[in-house]
């Protein structure tokens, strides 16, 4: 059976939650493979709104197994809060339908404290982090001093790893003027949260392997967007993990051969939250209109998103680095009523035309967009469920995007409602 990876192909906020929810009806297992609770998903199902930031989007669907893989950094306190919130909305969550990788590293209070202290004291250039400890947790993971989910059930190992972690963090905290870590308080907090987390801990790699052998369909869900990838994003204004599709294998314990289709989620225009280069950003009435019509505020932070025209250069680039098989184009309805639309088709860097975003940060900042204009449409596309429901100008816009990014549209989303979706190519087709 086909397995599908869903990744954001811009700077995040592309509408992955709805698409994953739409696809999850046909999947048996939905697995998160990177990131933490810094990336939000908003699902609208039968008029009811669910806001997720850590749990896989499939959790709201009955009869599905949701998995948090080892590539995710897990804040156990946030996990418990999010589970309680969803249960309050009538969602059933138990170890029968939610599993967490035993080797997933934990986000601790010290990570959030360090994250916020660094950002507040960074006088050169703020990265624009959410301050939730994601970066410091990944640092401890690669520094081999992380506390992992399995350690919560092993007192001797937990004591040793807490001491190793504190030895590193206290030195950093002194330099930032923060008081030393309260070891007793940290241990007490870990002991208190352990019984609420350990029932979900499983060897996820083994569970997924067995599911694949049994012919189950697996949907791998990414967070953020490919332009925030630690290697291929607009560094250093990126997240602290690999976001591109290849991480689906590493972040769950599956081999790369387990992936059959990569679906890149792409918004019909461009947005980003926080700092960093944004060649096609608009600072005019059109940009404000995109933000207002698209309700462009971060699910997790509430921060206003920066808005701009569709950047075909960036999406073409991320389709290559993630090996995208087809895209899901979302929020087309936000463009309704624009007399003229623009698409960024290249960059002008000091008089030289580029067809990709350069790696050097100073060059990225100097890239000026080269636009191609297309006529807009006055008809309403919101709620369209077939090509026949779309105006001709909208179809031409979609087809031009396909040409420019060298990748076909597999799905077209025309509203937050899950059924307002036009299926072109079934990602789960064998």
Model confidence over 52-94: pLDDT tens digits?
A: 889 998 898 888 999 999 999 999 999 999 999 999 999 999 9
Question: Catalytic residue at 41?
Answer: yes
Task: Compute the CA torsion angle 116, 122, 123, 128 (nearest 10 deg).
Answer: -70
* Sign of the CA dihedral with 207 first, then 212, 214, and 215 last: positive
Cα(76)–Cα(70) distance, rounded to whole angstroms? 14
Separation in Å, CA 146 to CA 103, 149, 157, 160: 10, 10, 11, 11
Question: Catalytic residue at 389?
Answer: no
pLDDT score, position 1: 63
Q: What is the DSSP letter of 246?
A: T
Cα(66)–Cα(35) distance, rounded to whole angstroms? 16
Mean pLDDT by 10 residues, the chain (430 residues): 92 85 89 87 78 89 93 97 96 96 97 89 62 92 97 96 97 94 98 98 97 95 93 93 95 93 97 92 95 81 87 98 96 96 98 97 96 97 93 97 98 86 88
Tell me the angle at which helices 109-121 and 155-176 cross, rounded to the nearest 10 degrees: 20
- Which entry of 41, 75, 140, 420 is annotated as an active-site residue? 41
**Helices (DSSP H) in 251-391: which residue ranges?**
285-293, 312-321, 361-366
pLDDT score, position 99: 98
Q: Where are the beta strands (DSSP E) in 137-274?
A: 201-202, 218-221, 261-267, 270-272
**Helices (DSSP H) in 277-342: which residue ranges?**
285-293, 312-321
């Amino acid at each position: 059976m086909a397995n599908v990876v869903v990744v954001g192909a811009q700077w995040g906020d592309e509408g992955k939650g709805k698409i994953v929810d739409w696809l999850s009806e046909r999947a048996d297992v939905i697995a998160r493979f990177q990131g933490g609770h810094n990336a939000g998903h908003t699902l609208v199902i039968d008029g009811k709104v669910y806001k997720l930031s850590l749990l896989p989007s499939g959790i709201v669907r009955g009869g599905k197994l949701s998995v948090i893989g080892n590539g995710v950094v897990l804040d156990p306190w946030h996990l418990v809060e999010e589970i309680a919130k969803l249960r309050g909305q009538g969602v059933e969550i138990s170890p029968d339908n939610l599993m967490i990788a035993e080797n997933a590293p934990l986000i601790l209070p010290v990570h959030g404290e360090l994250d916020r202290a660094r950002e507040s004291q960074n006088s050169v250039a703020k990265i624009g982090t959410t301050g939730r400890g994601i970066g410091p947790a990944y640092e401890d993971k690669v520094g081999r001093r992380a506390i992992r989910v399995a350690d919560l059930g092993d007192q001797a190992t937990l004591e040793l790893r807490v001491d190793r972690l504190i030895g590193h963090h206290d030195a950093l905290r002194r330099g930032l003027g923060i008081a030393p870590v309260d070891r007793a308080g940290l241990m007490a907090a870990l002991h208190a949260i352990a019984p609420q987390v350990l029932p979900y801990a499983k060897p996820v790699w083994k569970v997924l392997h067995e599911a694949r052998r049994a012919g189950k369909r697996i949907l791998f869900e990414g967070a953020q967007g490919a332009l925030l990838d630690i290697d291929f994003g607009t560094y250093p204004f990126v997240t602290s993990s690999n976001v591109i599709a290849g991480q689906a294998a590493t972040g769950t314990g599956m081999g790369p051969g387990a992936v059959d289709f990569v679906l890149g989620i792409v918004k019909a225009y461009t947005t980003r939250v926080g700092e960093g280069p944004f060649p096609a950003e608009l600072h005019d009435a059109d940009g404000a209109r995109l933000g207002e019509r698209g309700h462009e505020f971060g699910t997790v932070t509430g921060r206003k998103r920066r808005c701009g025209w569709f950047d075909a250069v960036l999406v073409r680039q991320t389709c290559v680095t993630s090996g995208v098989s087809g895209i899901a184009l979302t929020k087309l309805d936000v463009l309704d009523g624009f007399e003229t639309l623009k698409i960024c088709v290249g960059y002008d860097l000091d008089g030289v035309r580029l067809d990709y975003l350069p790696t050097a940060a100073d060059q990225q900042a100097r890239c000026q967009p080269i636009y191609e204009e297309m006529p807009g449409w006055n008809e309403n596309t919101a709620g369209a469920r077939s090509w026949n429901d779309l105006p001709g100008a909208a179809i031409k816009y979609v087809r031009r995007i396909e040409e420019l990014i060298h990748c076909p549209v597999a799905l077209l989303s025309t509203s937050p409602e899950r059924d307002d979706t036009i299926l072109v190519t079934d990602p789960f087709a064998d």
